[in-house]
Structure 1
Amino acid sequence: MSLPKTLAEDVARNLVMVAKLLDEDPEQAYGYSRVALRLASRVAAVREAAGFASYAVAKYAEALAEFRAARRMTGSVELWPIMADCERGMGRPERALAMAGEPEVQKLDKAGQVEMRLVAAGARKDMGQADAAVVTLQSPELASNSIQPWTARLRYAYADALLEVGREAEAREWFAKALEADQGGTTNASDRLAELDGVEFTDALDESEDAEQEPQGEEAKAGPAESKDTESKDTESKDTETEDTESKDTESKDTETEDTESKGKDAEESGEQG
């Protein structure tokens, strides 16, 4: 509302494209966010969208700067958990952990507090404190049987943390619980369960391709055999031709010998008559 109508429409179109492409093509979404940022850098929604687009392409320093700007403009704390996760992305888990203990966390709604707990547990793992990560995730929200938007991710993170410390049986149980709550397919809990159970999936398409290739392999094998047969026949033919030639040469030599002997006898007889 603070922008002229035409400019507002141009900025809005770019923000719509950011939201549409953020999951399927984050690089392109990032490009649209930079256009919107050039057009209206003083609008909080633009800075926030630019922050999410930067976060999606792992440009954590840019994302953190945009989130801080949006927070200054609005005074809201809802971006606090993702700001802390940007600190993790920049290789500063200790700062993320410090943010988890700030008063701003108490101002977050339930979803924000769960998100902050996930970030804090991730920071613990980054620092090599796997056991502390398990403890960090233990909470009333984890123990609750009600299914909330964050339930699957919280259970999945807890299962992963348990696996990290070697508690495989418990990890399998919590991966199963995560799968039960994951109605939107936000985690790969089913794959992790299969991996723990030693189940391997085979792509049926690959099998059909292999089956199609097998006859070609037999034909390829038949090729050299036929070639050998042909070579054998050629060799026999050459041998026969050689034998015929030798035979003809021998006959020719024999004929020449007989003619010579005959001429010799005729000459002797002629001499006797003389």
Structure 2
Amino acid sequence: MSKFQEAVDYILPKLTEKPTIGLVLGSGLGVLADEIENPTVIPYGEIPGFTASTVVGHKGQLVIGKLQGKQVVAMQGRFHFYEGHDLSDVVFPIRIMKFLGVETIIVTNAAGGINESYRPGDLMLIQDHINMTGRNPLIGPNDDTLGTRFPDMSEAYSKNLRELAKGVAAEQGIHLREGIYVGLLGPSYETPAEIRMLRMLGGDAVGMSTVPEVIVAKHMQLQVLGISCISNMAAGILEQPLSHEEVMETTEKVKAQFLALVQGILAKL
């Protein structure tokens, strides 16, 4: 039995309905999973093939149930390559979501602002990404039952979903940015020189996640929407030290706006 099948077989009997929407909730953004009605909560450590999340702000559990009338499966905390996990383990939950019935995935993260017009607390719709990790989760033999050898990434983030999100933001009076997310390995924050380089390359925000998950989501033909919470300005912009504590403080402040936006999007899916 494949490790995918083992995980699916463990999760499915606990569900009353198959989820159609997947949520990946980044640092400080796991509060959305607390809004799920009649939740089935499964710690990652119980699921075959899953590993433990070690980062503060990531609870490390699947939460499955109803949100805005939709059956969702939420990752309350994600895995990162910098934690020492294999990249195949980092993206494993995305593949399991697909096997559970998910068709659309919303990925969220806390990111540093590269664009100097941004401010901490802004929400940014991810228009596209730049993979600066030097890694790709599809390296190695391709399993044609999962997806094609050379997946198209010309629309990694669904244009239709982005338009829907912008409409919801306008209705709610949320000033929603839209920009390019740059994915790096971490765990150290970037240097001011690196941030200047990334700005020259067209980056608007930078983080240490999301890119591998989106590549695998597209490999499995999932529709993707991405939202970054600009938790701090990147190195060299405000000339102050960066810390994970600042990230958590900012995501706490923007919590209500983030919850309203994503729930508004879900209501219209």
TM category (shorter chain) comes to: under 0.3
Q: Which has the higher contact order (CA 8 A, sep 6+)?
A: 2
Greater strand fraction, Structure 1 or Structure 2: 2
Greater helix fraction, Structure 1 or Structure 2: 1
